[in-house]
Amino acid sequence: MRLHHCKIEPTFFFFLVIFIGLLGVRYFYLTPRHQPSYPPTVNADIVSTKAQSLLIQGDLNFQKKDYAQAIDYYQQAINAAPQSALAYYKKGLAHKYLNQKERALGSWLKAAEIYKDRGETESYYHIIGLIKNNVKDFYRGYLSEID
């Protein structure tokens, strides 16, 4: 069996390189990146392995949509590490999903206070934005109940 050598034009290689390059540009520069749903600075929150373990347990229950159990774990993490803004933040999210908006806002306010005291402005403004959006929704729902 004899293989025939085919002659490939240099322009083919040129267009192949350009095509591969465009794919790379599309992937690395045009593909939206996943944005974390939590405040970006969380390193100061990990004060003990016990608190970290409790946060993980809370996250597992949150993913299973067992929000009441997640709140319990987040509260235990807060008891183990009272300055854990991340635990307050996550506890607020679980309260929100249980439609306990006042409790959610209270947890987020505490998280914002901790971030502000630490000087973590990016995380602070992230939480403040979350509070503003949810306060609007809360009062919109509250006013519709009155009517």
- 75-118 pLDDT, tens digit per residue, is 999 999 999 999 999 999 999 999 998 899 999 999 999 999 99
Give the mean pLDDT of 122-131.
90
Domain covering 43-146 in this structure, CATH number: 1.25.40.10
Count, residues in the chain: 147
- Domains in the chain: boundaries: 43-146
Q: Using 50, 70 and 90 to split pLDDT, how confident is the model at 33? A: very low
Question: Residue 49: what pLDDT?
Answer: 87
Q: pTM above the 0.85 mark?
A: no
pLDDT value of residue 36: 39
48: which residues sit within 8 A by CB, 6+ positions away? 80, 81
